[in-house]
Amino acid sequence: MLSDLFRNNVDWAESIKRRDPEFFLKLSRQQAPEYLWIGCADSRVPANEIVGLLPGELFVHRNVANIVLQTDINCLSVLQYAVDVLQIRHIIVCGHYGCGGVKAAMQEEIIGLLDNWLHSVSRLYLRNRPRIDELATEAERVDALCELNVIEQVANVCHTSIVRRAWKRGQPLSVHGWIYGIGDGLLRDLEVSASCIEQAPPLPGE
Ligand code: CO
């Protein structure tokens, strides 16, 4: 019931104010998060909760399959605001195992508009198909592509003019690729972090 959501909201606000009566007042004056989270829209991957951060500590962009496209003005606007204005220190691209978007990108079945959105993931699958298809189960194949997708999106973030310019002017900024296990609630670092363009994973075709 929707009324439950409002009741939950009052309880939540009260519980935060019990710990820190000034919490919302302080937040309303400024936000100074150190992290930008680029994650999947999946309801099972709630960004702040997974990493135990409060409102004000994580700047968040989510879409289906945590994709970063150089033509996506929405994602790029978030990225630019986070890097240039908020001066965040870390960009975390976080995928998750069992991602429905990634799974859809592997199938030939036509869904609709979502197929267009997932086009770059389908291409990523086609480029890596020989080694992915060797895996025994569909779940393993999906999970392998979920990992490759995170790495590709880290590369895409690193190669945006926004991040390149920040690195060029010496702004401290790192980009990381993580993956979350819906089945165990745990994050894994895919160890593709980059703090300068030389450390960035290559773009497809490079
Ligand atoms: Co997903």
Q: How many Å apart are CA 165 and CA 170, to the nearest integer?
A: 9
Is 96 considered catalytic here? yes
pLDDT digits (tens, 9 = 90+) for 87-123: 999 999 999 999 999 999 999 888 899 999 999 999 9
pLDDT above 90 covers what percent of the chain?
94
pLDDT digits (tens, 9 = 90+) for 162-172: 999 999 999 99
Query: Letter for the amino acid at 97?
Result: Y
14 CA distance to ligand 1 middle (Å): 32
Q: What's the predicted TM-score (pTM) here? A: 0.95
- State both tokens at 91: 């960009």
31 CA distance to ligand 1 middle (Å): 27
Q: How many Å apart are CA 86 and CA 60, to the nearest integer?
A: 12
State residue 206's pLDDT score.
Answer: 66
State residue 179's pLDDT score.
Answer: 98
Query: Letter for the amino acid at 141?
Result: R
165 CA distance to ligand 1 middle (Å): 30
